[in-house]
Amino acid sequence: KEREWKGPFYFIQGADPQFGLMKAWSTGNCDSSGDEWEQEIRLTEQAIQAINRLNPKPRFFVLCGDLIHAMPGMPFQREQTKDLQRVLGAIDRAIPLVFVSGNHDVGNVPTAETIEEFCQTWGDDYFSFWVGGVLFLVLNSQLLYDASSCPALKQAQDLWLDQQLSLAVQQKCQHAIIFQHIPLFLQSIDEDDDYFNLTRSVRKEMADKFTKAGVRAVFSGHYHRNAGGTYKNLDMVVSSAIGCQLGKDTHGLRVVVVTAEKIVHRYYSLDELNEKGIEDDLMELMKQ
Ligand SMILES: [Zn+2]
């Protein structure tokens, strides 16, 4: 039923609740797990409260990775996971949660074991789903970042992705949209490699694959700042964090409206979304 276009809808994108980073960042030791995460608990509670207040309800809430700060095998991994699951448990049951794996969730150099652990805790690391005629693909960007310890898993995702993208073309979806933790790029397809983007060769290959299949947008996190750019018809959208800010943005969420022709999105601070909800011009788009 969800393969058919029935009119505009919206969803909420969030990224990097990353329980533990604010403490680790404040002590200047980001490689530690962060031994407190009270602030992130409050911010994520605020995010859930804002989402629960929205009317009409979003079709889903996608969390684009770095769910917690403790990497696999580090202290507090279990405690941070448990607390995040408890906070997310307060979401309206009519709003499905979609989880994307980040580098902190499966490790900078993921292994079969760390990915399996993620899947056991949060669900598959890559998968697709349909909502109202739109095909959504969730990718494990760590397999694009460094698959040296699990080459077979990278190969499997690559093969699956190619199949999904050809399906997107055959099945004439209204749009195809991708979620992955690490952005392809932060501003431009030609920018230099750094910690926050995928390498030039990988990003170019992926971006060309996506645009050829008609993918309209990629939504990411990881940067803890809002950023983005376009490549051909592809909109690369980088959203700041629910948790720790590394720039001048506010803790927030992105509202994404999908209409027959376009994908319109706007980042809201948690306070703003809680107090005022979604602005009228975005709401208007959904009535068309
Ligand atoms: Zn990250």
Q: What is the DSSP string of 145-175?
A: H--TT-HHHHHHHHHHHHHHHHHHHHTT-SE
Give the model's pLDDT for residue 5.
Answer: 96
Task: Please list the ranges in the chain whose pLDDT falls under 70.
Answer: none
Rounded (10°) CA dihedral 236, 112, 155, 162? -50
Q: What pTM, to 2 d.p., does this model score? A: 0.98
Name residues whose C-beta falls within 8 Å of residue 182's C-beta, 6 or more positions apart in sequence.
102, 103, 141, 142, 144, 145, 196, 197, 198, 220, 222
DSSP-derived 3-state class of residue 121:
helix
The reported pLDDT for the residue numbered 237 is 98
Task: Return d(Cα 10, Cα 134) in angstroms, integer.
Answer: 11
Centre of ligand 1 to C-alpha 145, Å, is 11
Q: Specify the pLDDT at position 125.
A: 98
Query: Rounded to 5 degrees, what angle do the CA atoms 272, 49, 273 make?
Result: 15
Per-residue pLDDT, 221: 98
Residue 124 CA, chain-centre distance (Å), reads 14
Please tell me the distance between residue 221's alpha carbon and the centre of ligand 1 in angstroms: 7
Q: Which two tokens stand for residue 53?
A: 């207040």
Whole-number pLDDT of residue 161: 98
65 Cα to the center of ligand 1, angstroms: 7
pLDDT the model gives residue 268:
98
Cα 108 to ligand 1 centroid, rounded to whole Å: 9
State residue 33's pLDDT score: 86
Q: How far is the CA of 102 from the centre of ligand 1 (A)?
A: 5
Ligand 1 center to 146 CA (angstroms): 13
Distance CA 32, CA 34 (A): 6
Q: Would you say 140 and 126 are in contact if contact means Cβ atoms under 8 Å apart?
A: yes
Ligand 1 centroid to 273 CA: how many Å?
24
Amino acid identity, residue 202? Answer: V
Whether the bond into 110 is cis, omega within 30 of 0: no
**Chain centre distance of CA 199:** 19
pLDDT of residue 10: 98
| Ligand 1 midpoint to CA 6 (Å) | 35
For 11, 56, 92, 138, 218, the CA distances from 8, given in Å and listed in that order, are 11, 12, 21, 21, 19
Instruction: Output the pLDDT for position 270.
Output: 98
> DSSP secondary structure string, 91-109?
S-TTS-EEE---HHHH-SS
- Ligand 1 centroid, distance to 178 Cα (angstroms): 17
